[in-house]
């Protein structure tokens, strides 16, 4: 590429780090801004030398990929053409109203609306995100909802991607915003069932949820309700399904605790349900005047459900309601006055089970080999209807209202694809790859019918494998742009996720983290062996913790990949897990281990941390992306990683970094701007694997 500028070569400033008797040297530690807390709130405060380097990296990536710009535009147009621009959600009933959202033609953000129940007119505007977003390069609403008396509407908005939210409220009768702005908030809040109070969560300077406050809903002084003493816990606040309580939850990846405030005494001090015990998780659901407790206590790896009639359901009052069955993960519960609905997952397949007050159960059945289900509980407790969403790699989303008593379903909405979608053109398959230790890893494959299985097709292999998040075989308007070009799209259900139960998660964390990496490689090798592609024609794709996966497999098997796309990649694992000031470090020690106090954890992380294991070998083309306002994976992680890769790689393939200077972890906030970022990823993969002729 003789016409291209040389890649940026940042200065090296070796920093010696001694920890638990071990020593490592970090040549690019200077890329971390010591003032990062201020940068999250105001990205213009990033130190000049860092900003200069990031701009140089963006310019270089732009120059290398300049020939893909027309392809990026086509990909964007294709993906945008699959979006119904004036789309609306299915209205959710609550008392005299039904609430919904709608996008206007061309709008990147929705409007929040309501109308009288059963009416097609009399629409009332609650919040216009598109209007508010006009003032900001980034705008995201993390939570929004009305007070139980339908008089107020509240929302939490983030204007720079840092996830420091501000909460605002609107008086719906007056049609005006209240002079109330709650700053430094977490994107979570709850009205008391009497509508008089707002409970909200405060984030400290290190971006951690640390305190729960209560204030009069229409404005007034904040009162501290709960303060979390452990930096490693996340906080949440919500109301019970039957509006009997306000609940406060504290949890990390392996331990949880819940506090209760009765609805008839919202000023009461919260009462502890059951004190936290390391490794024990529990959550509460109110049903028929008592409590249901979903828990992994007593070795119930895939969770069981206990019941209690106590006002405060401490552990001593629990009795078994639904026993533990290994391999059947109880994902969640939705309670109604006369029915209980649960979502289960087994062998990477979801199912919905409905139970009536007499204890009789039935399963809502589906026919496809691989599909995804999600529950949308709604806002009403005394109802016979529940709502769920069904989709598969070939089937666009379908919203159903399900009558739990008559067992009949009503199709309320089908995701419309304006440019057209013929499901019969595509084929979904479920394969199983064998890991080095004998575990069977599910792989979901989407391709055009008739795709030759002779190794000639290019393939995307997507993976995540962390925090117990399952990779659902969902419908994607984005992946079709590759599949329609003859690519195979494959989803690896690797350990670290909960695709095959909570034990599947436990087998891919802490001192078993490498299982995630070897599982992913096994999936790639199986796809090659079965003729779906061949080594060098596979694009490995993942983001965040999945970006760490990308860094690890690039180090371990660079020969397999024709391209690696690492979005907001968590690649500097050892340094980040050793920095207690960063937002997610103490909360994530249960996931990765604590290298500050545990020598075994230090050595294990050091053995796979992508940044620390870059070696002198020929790396495939790599595109790393990030966001300057990202509080989860800070920008210097991909910045440092690409610098070290470029320094040590013995190959000639491009190693690129693209940092969004106006966004955070989730990328661009607008629904169309986000597609432009995906179009860049896809264009990079096509260019890297198929070459200039495919542009």
Residue 669 annotated in active site = no
Active-site option among 162, 476, 533, 544: 544
Give the phi and the psi of residue 329 in degrees, each rounded to 5. -85, 125
Query: How would DSSP label each residue in 161-175?
Result: SS--EEEEEEETTTT
Residue 324 annotated in active site = no
Contact predicate 547/569, CB 8 Å: yes
Contact predicate 212/248, CB 8 Å: yes
**Contact residues for 33 (Cβ-Cβ < 8 A; gap 6+):** 39, 46, 47, 50, 636
Contact predicate 176/155, CB 8 Å: no
Query: How would DSSP label each residue in 289-323?
Result: TEEEEEE-GGG-TT-EEEEE-SSS--GGG-EEEE-
**Contact residues for 501 (Cβ-Cβ < 8 A; gap 6+):** 301, 302, 326, 327, 328, 329, 345, 346
Residue with structure tokens 């552990």? 315
Query: For residue 584, what are the β-bridge partners?
Result: none
| Burial class of residue 38 in the structure, from the number of CB atoms within 10 Å of its CB (0-12 exposed, 13-18 middle, 19+ buried) | middle
Hey, how many other C-beta atoms are within 10 angstroms of the C-beta on 457? 21
Query: How would DSSP label each residue in 73-84?
Result: HHHHHHHHHTS-
Active-site option among 162, 630, 649, 669: 630
Query: How would DSSP label each residue in 617-635?
Result: S-PPPEEEEEETT-SSS-T
Active-site option among 53, 109, 493, 665: 665
Provide the token pair at 407: 């067992």
Please state the separation of Cα 124 from the chain's center in Å.
Answer: 31
Four-point Cα dihedral 362, 367, 372, 377, nearest 10: -30
Residue 13 annotated in active site = no
Query: For residue 612, what are the β-bridge partners?
Result: none
Contact predicate 508/495, CB 8 Å: yes
Residue with structure tokens 């999600």? 374
Of the candidates 375, 508, 393, which has an alpha carbon nearest to the alpha carbon of residue 443? Answer: 393
Query: How would DSSP label each residue in 640-686?
Result: HHHHHHHHH--S-S-EEEEEETT-BTTB-SSHHHHHHHHHHHHHHHH
Report the catalytic residues: 544, 630, 665
């Amino acid at each position: 590429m003789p016409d291209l500028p040389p890649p940026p070569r940042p200065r090296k400033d070796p920093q010696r780090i001694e920890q638990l008797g071990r020593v490592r040297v970090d040549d690019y530690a200077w890329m971390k801004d010591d003032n990062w807390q201020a940068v999250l709130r105001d990205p213009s405060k990033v130190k000049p030398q860092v900003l200069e380097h990031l701009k140089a990296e963006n310019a270089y990536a732009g120059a290398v990929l300049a020939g893909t710009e027309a392809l990026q535009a086509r990909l964007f147009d294709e993906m945008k053409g699959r979006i119904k621009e004036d789309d609306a959600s299915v209205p959710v009933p609550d008392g005299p109203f039904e609430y919904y959202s709608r996008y206007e033609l061309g709008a990147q953000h929705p409007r929040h609306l309501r109308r009288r129940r059963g009416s097609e007119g009399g629409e009332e505007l609650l919040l216009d995100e598109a209007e508010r977003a006009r003032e900001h390069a980034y705008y995201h609403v993390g939570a929004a909802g009305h007070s139980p008396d339908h008089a107020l509407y509240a929302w939490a908005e983030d204007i720079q991607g840092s996830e420091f939210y501000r909460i605002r409220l609107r008086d719906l009768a007056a049609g005006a915003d209240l002079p109330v702005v709650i700053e430094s908030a977490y994107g979570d809040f709850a009205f008391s069932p009497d509508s008089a109070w707002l409970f909200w969560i405060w984030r400290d300077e290190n971006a951690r949820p640390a305190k729960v406050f209560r204030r009069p809903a229409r404005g007034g002084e904040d009162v501290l309700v709960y303060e979390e003493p452990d930096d490693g816990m996340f906080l949440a606040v919500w109301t019970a399904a039957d509006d009997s309580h306000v609940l406060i939850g504290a949890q990390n990846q392996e331990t949880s605790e819940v506090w209760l405030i009765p609805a008839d005494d919202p000023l009461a001090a919260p009462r502890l349900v059951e004190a936290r015990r390391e490794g024990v998780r529990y959550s509460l659901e109110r049903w028929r005047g008592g409590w249901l407790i979903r828990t992994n206590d007593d070795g119930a790896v895939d969770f069981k459900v206990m019941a209690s009639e106590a006002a405060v359901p401490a552990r001593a009052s629990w009795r078994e309601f639904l026993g533990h069955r290994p391999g059947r993960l109880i994902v969640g519960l939705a309670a109604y006055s006369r029915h209980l609905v649960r979502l289960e997952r087994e062998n990477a397949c979801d199912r919905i089970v409905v139970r009536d007050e007499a204890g009789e159960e039935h399963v809502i059945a589906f026919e496809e080999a691989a599909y995804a289900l999600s529950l949308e509980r709604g806002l009403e407790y005394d109802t016979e209807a529940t709502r769920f969403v069904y989709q598969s790699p070939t089937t666009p989303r379908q919203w159903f209202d399900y009558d739990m008593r008559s067992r009949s379903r009503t199709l309320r909405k089908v995701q419309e694809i304006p440019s057209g979608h013929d499901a019969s053109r595509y084929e979904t398959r479920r394969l199983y790859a064998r890991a080095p230790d004998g575990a069977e890893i599910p792989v979901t494959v989407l391709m055009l019918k008739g795709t030759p299985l002779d190794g000639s097709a290019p393939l995307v292999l997507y993976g995540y494998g962390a925090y117990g998040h399952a990779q659902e075989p969902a419908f994607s308007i984005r992946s079709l742009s590759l599949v329609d070009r003859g690519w195979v799209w494959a989803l690896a259900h690797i350990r670290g996720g909960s695709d095959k139960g909570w034990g599947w998660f436990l087998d891919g964390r802490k001192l078993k983290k490498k299982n995630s990496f070897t599982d992913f490689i096994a999936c790639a090798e199986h796809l090659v062996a079965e003729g779906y592609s061949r080594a060098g024609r596979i694009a490995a794709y993942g983001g965040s913790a999945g970006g760490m996966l990308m860094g690890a497999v690039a180090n371990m098997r660079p020969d397999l990949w024709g391209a690696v796309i690492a979005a907001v990649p968590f690649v500097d694992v050892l340094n980040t897990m050793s920095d207690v000031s960063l937002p997610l470090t103490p909360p994530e020690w249960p996931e990765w281990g604590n290298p500050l106090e545990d020598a075994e954890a230090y050595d294990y992380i050091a053995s796979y941390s992508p940044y620390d294991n870059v070696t002198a070998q020929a790396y495939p083309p790599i595109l790393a992306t990030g966001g300057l306002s990202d509080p989860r994976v800070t920008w210097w992680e991909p910045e440092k990683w690409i610098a070290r890769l470029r320094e040590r790689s013995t190959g000639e393939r491009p190693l690129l970094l693209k940092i969004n200077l106006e966004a955070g972890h989730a990328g661009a906030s607008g629904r169309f701007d986000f597609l432009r970022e995906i179009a860049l990823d896809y264009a990079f993969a096509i260019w890297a694997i198929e070459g200039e002729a495919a542009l």
